[in-house]
Amino acid sequence: MTTSPYPIVRLTPKADARAVRHGFPWVYANELVLDRRTRNLEAGTLAVLEDSNRTAMGIVALNPASKIICRMLDPQPDATIDEKWFAARITRALAHRTRLFPDPFYRLIHAEADGLPGVIVDRFGDVAVVQPNAAWADVLIDTLVAALVAVTGVTTVILNGTGRARSLEGLAERTDVVFGNAPTGPIPVPMNGAIYMADVLGGQKTGLFFDQRPNHAFAAGLSRDARVLDVFSHVGGFGLAALAQGAASVLAVDGSAPALALAEDGAKAMGVADRFSTRKGDAFDVLSALGDEGAMFDVVICDPPAFAPSRKALDAGLRAYERVARLAAPLVAENGYLGLCSCSHAADLTKFRNASARGIGRAGRRGQIIHTGFAGPDHPLMPHLAESGYLKSVFFRL
């Protein structure tokens, strides 16, 4: 037993208490004793988790409406979750990022791996975008933001409460400026020698995908003097990095006109607009059309959204990845390069790689795998949580 200002919740005898003690950060709904008192606790309530023998295991955040009913916050059952507690975790995360990057443009908090379950913070200079994707972070957002400002010195904090993760937690969508003033326009972000324009208020996710930074760099190294096709380009991720390394030309394909406009603005800011063009449309349709047109590129990169966001969607997602590879492979010149990416945690590397290889084979091509890439080091992995290793990229020479 323990004395605490927080209520107590308890694992069932069949729950794997050892996994939680060894670092697994989640408790599923079927692993917790769900009596009337526990069911009536509000989403975001902090509680002391005990095992079935009533031994305290730490402080958890509870959400009776979620399949992940508890998220471990601190293994010390006497911990107090206050601004000082948040500041300690943000300080630790910041020390890692400032060692990695000379400029303050990176993912600052990567959820469970940085000790703040369900919380994402991306930093764009003096602006931070917070995604509170778990109920407890929504409840304590003011405390979190106060610690974030105190530790980093950012002058603006935007709350981006959109996306599938929040809906799974039963949380409403919202986007607010919770500290400081809203940016007057897109924020220029220097990365890999390129300049990206991040729309932190109206763009996809937080406005830019920092996770692909090392994969952008690898693809750019293949792209000197090359004709490059960047499919699912968003704001020009792979294409602008390729131009920064001397690509002869880049064609960016995306279904979003605003994203392509931001990509064009980035190319203009870099002074390479004469080598950059865009094509709006469904990626599958554009890939098919380019094939019919006999188009050919030295480097083709496809970075689609998550086709398999859950296990239920895995089979359909793998078929979609296979189709991307099948349509893209014929566009790659002899001895050219094809880079294929997946951000679906449900599709592990082996399944994704096999689906990609099947698609290449169905297109009548053969290739060597020359590189496998993952998210950058500002997206650390929690060893106990496979879901934190969602991003993978496989580069083929055809």
User: Quick one: 69 and 97 in the same domain?
Assistant: no
What local confidence, expressed as pLDDT, does residue 388 receive?
Answer: 76
Model pTM score: 0.94
What local confidence, expressed as pLDDT, does residue 6 receive?
Answer: 94
Single out the residue of 348, 350, 300 nearest to residue 324, CA to CA.
Answer: 300
Among 161, 179, 197, identify where a domain stops: 179
Annotated catalytic residue within 70, 302, 341, 343: 343
What local confidence, expressed as pLDDT, does residue 168 receive?
Answer: 84
Is 341 a catalytic site residue? no
User: Quick one: 219 and 353 in the same domain?
Assistant: yes
Please check whether residue 143 lies inside any domain of the structure: yes
Contacts of 215 by beta carbon, 8 Å cutoff, 6+ apart: 238, 339, 341, 373, 393
State percent of the chain over pLDDT 90.
90
User: Quick one: 286 and 250 in the same domain?
Assistant: yes
Which structure tokens are listed for 60? 């958890």
User: Quick one: 56 and 90 in the same domain?
Assistant: no
Report the DSSP beta bridge partners of residue 301.
230, 339
User: Quick one: 101 and 156 in the same domain?
Assistant: yes
What local confidence, expressed as pLDDT, does residue 3 receive?
Answer: 63
Please check whether residue 115 lies inside any domain of the structure: yes
What local confidence, expressed as pLDDT, does residue 240 receive?
Answer: 98
Distances (CA, A) of 129 to 22, 48, 116, 295: 31, 30, 15, 39
Name the residue range of residue 311's domain. Answer: 189-397
- Ranges under pLDDT 50 in the chain: 1
- CATH code for the domain of 215: 3.40.50.150
User: Quick one: 343 and 384 in the same domain?
Assistant: yes
Which structure tokens are listed for 393? 């990229």
- CATH code for the domain of 140: 3.30.750.80
198-228 pLDDT per residue, tens? 999 988 889 999 999 999 999 999 999 999 9
> What percent helix, strand, coil does the chain show, rounded to 5?
35, 30, 35
